Amino acid sequence: MKDQISFIPIGGIGNVTKNMYLYEYKDEILIIDCGLGFADETMLGVGLLLPDISYLLNSNLSSSGATGKKIVGMAITHGHEDHTGALPHILPQLAKKTGFSFPIFAGPLTAGLANEKLNEFGIPVRVKAVNYEDGEIKLGSFTISFIRVTHSIPDSSHIFIKTPVGNFYHGSDFKFDLTPFDDKKTDFLKIAKVANEGILCLASDCLRAEKEGFTKSEKVLAENIEEQMRSCEGKFILTTYSSNISRLNQAIQAAQKLGRKVVFVGRSLVNTATIAQKLGYMKLNPGMEIGVNEIKRYKDSNLLLLVAGSQAQANSALSRIANGDHKEISISPKDVVIFSADPIPGNEVSINSLIDSIAKRGARVVYSQITDDFHVSGHASADDLMLLMEMTHPKKLIPIGGTYRQMVAYKNLAKRQGFQDKDILLIENGQEIVFSKDDAVMGRKIPIKNIFVDEISGEEVESFVLQDRQKISKDGVIIVVAEVDSQTGQIVDYPTIISRGLADQENRTANKKVAKDIRDGFSAKKGRVTDWMYIRKKVGEIGERSILKYLRRRPLVLPVIIEV
């Protein structure tokens, strides 16, 4: 049997977030990224989505690999939540199998952000910081090296992976910014160098494959932020992703020129700013930063507020400010609020509602739907993507980190560059691709399910719980309380119907006709039945059919059986 390596995406294909990819050689597994996803308005009571690691947990993992498969290491490409945020949820599950025996590597800032999150959850694991000048890292049969690229967060990386079968270039989120705000440019020389070693497959970011040209530089925003801040007579409030340190630095630089004090508002932003300053990625002059409790000592025109909550998270700092629930901060008509972030798909309705709330308080709100002066994407557009293809000269291509339509757009770009259909692999999460030195074929289709995390308890939520919540929100809930004779299994009287979410007339119909149908359904049954699980199920089934018949609704029906 010839040497083979498997590429298995657990998340990040077709859904943008939950990025997690496996490279598997014999009994060794290398993991790239460990990100989370974000719930939309249809996922009631859900805060986060996690990658489904059932495949890993069912792979007979061991710390040595002697009796099963072994995780030899993990590499994190950059510090965004959709690439690092699942670490505190996933690592404890893997620990039960491996005892945290595998190392995790990332760039300095990414490692700092990840370690802060692991600390917060009390997880005794540390991500090891890698300097870009460091050499190769040997992980079992794999050898990896980090390549600096530009993105919307400093310290972003591509990962070059050497395997016994061939070399892989894992090109996660990037753009080719020739004038980045921190002046740390993409290491084109290193990309060319690894390309000379030959690349079997390029797995590439494809999120903006539909957009022609090159993505704009971060630096173009600095002048716009300063100009807007100069004309603002009140508080200048800017919200962006907490990890968008380049954007935060641009606002801080403008505030420094204009003599405004800087206030970080929101736990995630405070944590990011603390880590970024500690590692030298963010610099503030002495006395420039003040705490939220000091705001009232200063005129509004002397304040820059950097506020968490650009995606309208329900309990975020910006949502509380907009709704008048923040103890220290209120919005006045002279304030300007800048949304310096695009909506994550699924968040548009919530963000528009938040913008309306701010506008009602008289402030001027600037957001991406009315101007692109305050946000540029961190992702490669068509020309960036084709340039990476041209530089790496891979034999095969896999678009990652985008929706299916963006994957198709990437395929069209690749064909313009001379790649054949058979060499451009469009797959779904869980679809294995098996590589040999001269070929790639589709392998197993590994089942991947949605893993939901409750926004209050932080515990995993089964899909049936979410379905019940959706039923209740749409069609209400009906509780059927039935008294059943313990000797005969027959209903003693008409059951009591308790409903929520129904109109008065619907409630009367339920109490009259649904109760009668349930009583009649048992009266017609001959013989003695005392299987209480069967009785409960039958009450629920009759109730559901009756409600659909009379009310044309499908509420959640909860049978309660009382033995008498």
pLDDT in tens, the chain (564 residues): 679 999 999 999 987 789 999 999 999 999 999 998 765 544 444 457 788 999 999 887 776 655 679 999 999 999 999 999 999 989 998 988 777 689 999 999 999 999 999 998 899 899 999 999 888 999 999 999 999 999 999 999 999 999 999 999 999 999 999 999 889 999 999 999 999 999 999 999 999 999 999 999 988 888 899 999 999 999 999 999 888 898 999 999 999 999 999 999 999 899 999 999 999 999 999 999 999 999 999 999 999 999 999 988 877 899 999 988 899 999 999 999 999 988 776 678 888 989 999 999 999 999 988 887 888 899 999 999 999 999 999 999 999 999 999 999 999 999 999 999 999 999 999 999 999 998 999 999 999 887 756 443 344 544 444 455 455 556 677 788 888 777 776 777 888 888 777 777 877 877 778 888 888 877 765 555 556 677 777 888 888 888 888 878 777 778 887 876
Domains of the chain from N-terminus onward: 5-214+377-460 (3.60.15.10), 220-366 (3.40.50.10710), 476-563 (3.10.20.580)
User: What distance in Å separates the CA atoms of residue 323 and residue 460, rounded to the nearest whole number?
Assistant: 30
Q: Where do we find the tokens 């109490």?
A: 511
Predicted local confidence at residue 64, as pLDDT: 64
Amino acid at position 415, single letter = K
Q: What is the DSSP string of 172-236?
A: -S-B--SS-TT-----HHHHHHHHTT--SEEEEE-TTTTS-SPPPPTTHHHHHHHHHHHH-SS-E
Predicted local confidence at residue 1, as pLDDT: 60
Q: CB–CB of 497/555 below 8 Å? A: no
E-assigned strand segments in 291-369: 303-307, 336-339, 364-366
Print burial letters for 221-246: b (CB count within 10 Å at least 16), e (below 16): bbebbbebbeebebbbbbbbbbbbbb
The fraction of the chain above a pLDDT of 70, given in percent, is 90
E-assigned strand segments in 78-179: 104-106, 128-129, 137-139, 142-149, 156-162, 167-171
Q: Where do we find the tokens 């540029």?
A: 376
Predicted local confidence at residue 461, as pLDDT: 44
User: What distance in Å separates the CA atoms of residue 384 and residue 396, rounded to the nearest whole number?
Assistant: 18
Q: Where do we find the tokens 């008065």?
A: 504
Main-chain phi, psi angles of 365, to 5 degrees: -115, 130
Predicted local confidence at residue 455, as pLDDT: 43
Q: Write the Ramachandran bin of 34: left for phi over 0, alpha for psi from -120 to 50, otherwise beta.
A: beta
